[in-house]
């Protein structure tokens, strides 16, 4: 049994949904369980509808409801054009959900207040709609799809908009509701992202992008052989292709390497969301639904050791340096320093220290002013905005060999503000001027992944 998750673009329109159906048709004998996102862009639109309604802008909200309704009904019509009865049934079912959405919008307008709980009631509609539509589309292509109400499986706590899953309850529900369908030869289809609070059954969501998390939780609950995350890129690449046009596909990557890349700029998927599966030894594939013949990227707990797997980068980083003679030969200074960051809920990315100074980088500058005031109590503070980070990630980076020398010579004369090698030796991070991030990535990529020589 495998779990196949399709993101918003893989179910974005009738053509994409039809392609998704044929991907599943080709995997019948592997007993797929399907998890789908909302139609691409639908969740954003639903959240906007909720906000507008609560602000009293009901006309705008309701016209967005109708635009979203049209989009879903058009896809239904196209996908079910050979079966008028099914088309009418599904259109009716979807339309009823849109009526409910319009009623929710009006209620929010009256209340003039948007609670996380009502936000989830609205945001969850995207996956409720897409899962019904995808079941119908699969059936129209002859696949024995069966709808699973994700809220009966994805049992969570009651932290609306970022609910925490309860893995034991999910495992029990998945075994009870999904497993029999799989055994009977059906193809269960459920929405990702949404769940319900244990005890009350009120609808919750797992947070933005939560469908990958749903797929991983269901895969872990069913002890799946593999999880496939179908998206709109070929997999994870050796660098961002917008910066490094000849970036290439990483065929296999370790979970820890993927996590480092995500933290330092790669955007394909957030590794935390696949942790429940990877930790149980379930391999996770990232695949392109527009090019299903591609090999994709395989993420596993362990991966082949190599010095460099990929280069990531991001700009818009702020560097803070605290110099204090008090640091010399004293203990506890670091703790005091980091408590300041903790107090201001600001997470630190890269750290480097000398005997009398500490440099850290942060992404989130929303508490910067307060942070700096508190840091000044510890020493002289300098702040450098508009820095960037370039990260060289590989689980064999510090195994010896020439990787470090290659990295430093590739960076060449670019101004380096900070350098840090993680203790696990998997990530060499260089802080440069913001505008040097792309050139640094290009140089490093050229050095570690020289273009194939055509002979």
Contacting positions for ligand ASP (CB under 6 A): 7-8, 37-38, 43, 126, 192-193, 208-211
Side-chain half-sphere CA neighbours of 447 within 13 A: 21
C-beta of 213: minimal distance to Mg ion in Å? 10
Residue whose CB is less far from Mg ion, 11 or 64: 11
Q: What's the chain's length in residues? A: 455
Distance CA 189, CA 35 (A): 6
By the 10 Å C-beta count (0-12 exposed, 13-18 middle, 19+ buried), 242 is classed as exposed
List binders of Mg ion among 153-212 (CB under 5 A). Answer: 209
Looking at the Cβ atoms of 7 and 388, the one nearer to ligand ASP is: 7
Phi, psi torsion values for 123, nearest 5 degrees: -60, -35
HSE on the CB side for 184, CA within 13 Å? Answer: 11
Query: Closest CB to Mg ion among 7 and 165?
Result: 7
**The two three-digit tokens of residue 18, written as one number:** 């039809």
Q: CB 108 → ligand ASP: shortest distance, Å?
A: 20
Of 161, 159, 170, the residue nearest 209 (C-alpha): 161
CA distances from 244 to 239, 247, 270, 415 (A): 6, 5, 21, 20
Q: Between 43 and 427, whose beta carbon lies closer to Mg ion? A: 43
- Draw the binding track, 230-269, toward Mg ion (x: CB under 5 A; -: no contact): ----------------------------------------
The reply on whether position 7 binds Mg ion by CB under 5 A is yes
Q: Smallest gap, in angstroms, from Cβ of residue 360 to Mg ion?
A: 30
Tokens standing for 354?
A: 């000398």
Per CB under 5 A, contacts with Mg ion among 205-224 are 209
- The minimum distance between CB 8 and ligand ASP, in angstroms, equals 5
- Give the shortest CB-232-to-ligand ASP separation in angstroms: 12
9 or 359: whose CB is closer to Mg ion?
9
Residue 101 interacts with which of ligand ASP, Mg ion, none, CB < 5 to 8 Å by class? none
241 alpha carbon, distance to own chain's centre: 18
333, interface contact from Mg ion, ligand ASP, none, CB < 5-8 Å by kind: none
Residue in the block written with tokens 């929303």: 366
Sequence-ordered strand ranges (E) for 10-107: 32-36
Residue among 207 and 209 whose Cβ is closer to Mg ion: 209
Q: Minimum distance between the CB of residue 209 and Mg ion, rounded to whole angstroms?
A: 5
Residues at the site binding Mg ion, with contacts judged by CB under 5 A = 7, 209
């Amino acid at each position: 049994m495998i779990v196949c998750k399709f993101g918003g673009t893989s179910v974005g329109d009738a053509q994409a949904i039809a392609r998704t159906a044929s991907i599943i048709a080709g995997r019948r004998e592997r007993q797929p369980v399907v998890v789908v996102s909302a139609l691409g862009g639908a969740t954003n639109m639903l959240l906007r509808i909720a906000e507008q309604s609560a602000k009293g802008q009901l006309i705008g909200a309701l016209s967005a409801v109708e635009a979203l309704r049209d989009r879903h009904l058009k896809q239904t019509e196209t996908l079910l054009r050979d079966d008028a009865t099914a088309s009418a049934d599904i259109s009716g079912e979807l339309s009823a959900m849109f009526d409910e959405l319009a009623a929710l919008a009006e209620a929010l307008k009256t209340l003039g207040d948007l609670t996380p709980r009502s936000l989830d009631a609205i945001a969850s509609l995207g996956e409720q709609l897409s899962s019904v539509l995808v079941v119908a589309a699969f059936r129209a292509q002859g696949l024995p799809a069966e709808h699973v109400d994700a809220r009966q499986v994805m049992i969570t706590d009651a932290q609306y908009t970022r609910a925490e899953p309860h893995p034991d309850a999910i495992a029990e529900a998945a075994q009870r509701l999904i497993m029999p369908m799989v055994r009977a030869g059906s193809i269960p289809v459920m929405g990702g992202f949404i769940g319900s609070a244990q005890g009350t059954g009120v609808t919750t969501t797992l947070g933005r992008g939560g469908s990958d998390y749903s797929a991983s939780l269901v895969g872990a609950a069913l002890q799946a052989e593999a999880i496939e995350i179908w998206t709109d890129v070929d997999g994870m690449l050796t660098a961002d292709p917008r910066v490094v046009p000849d970036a290439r596909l990483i065929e296999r990557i370790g979970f820890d390497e993927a996590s480092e890349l995500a933290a330092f700029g790669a955007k394909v998927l957030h590794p935390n969301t696949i942790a429940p599966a990877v930790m149980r030894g379930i391999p996770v594939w990232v695949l392109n639904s527009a090019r299903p013949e591609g090999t994709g990227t395989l993420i596993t707990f362990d991966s082949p050791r190599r010095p460099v797997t990929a280069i990531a980068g991001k700009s818009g980083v702020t560097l803070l340096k605290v110099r204090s003679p008090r640091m010399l030969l004293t203990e506890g200074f670091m703790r005091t320093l980091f408590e300041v960051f903790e107090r201001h809920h600001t997470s630190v990315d890269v750290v480097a220290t000398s005997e009398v100074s500490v440099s850290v980088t942060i992404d989130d500058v929303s508490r910067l002013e307060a942070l700096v005031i508190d840091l000044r109590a510890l020493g002289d503070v300098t702040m450098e905005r508009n820095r960037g980070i370039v990260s060289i990630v590989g689980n064999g980076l510090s195994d010896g060999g020439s990787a470090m020398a290659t990295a430093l010579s590739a960076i060449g004369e670019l101004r380096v503000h900070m350098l840090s090698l993680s203790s696990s030796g998997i990530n060499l991070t260089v802080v440069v001027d913001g505008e040097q991030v792309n050139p640094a990535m290009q140089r490093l990529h050229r050095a570690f992944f020289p273009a194939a020589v055509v002979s």
